[in-house]
Amino acid sequence: MRPSKIWDIEKVSCVETIDRLYGGHTFTINTVAVSPDEHYAVTGSDDKTVKLWTLRAR
Which pLDDT tens digit goes with each residue over 4-58?
777 888 999 988 776 655 567 788 888 889 899 988 889 899 999 998 888 875 5
In degrees to the nearest 10, what's the CA dihedral of 50, 1, 7, 38?
30
- Distance (Å, rounded) from C-alpha 9 to C-alpha 52? 22
Segments forming the whole domain that contains residue 34:
4-54
- Indicate the number of domains in the chain: 1
pLDDT at 1: 58
Which pLDDT does position 8 carry in this prediction?
83
Cβ proximity of 41 and 16 under 8 Å: yes
- Predicted confidence at residue 2, as pLDDT, reads 65
| Residues 55/41, Cβ–Cβ less than 8 Å | yes
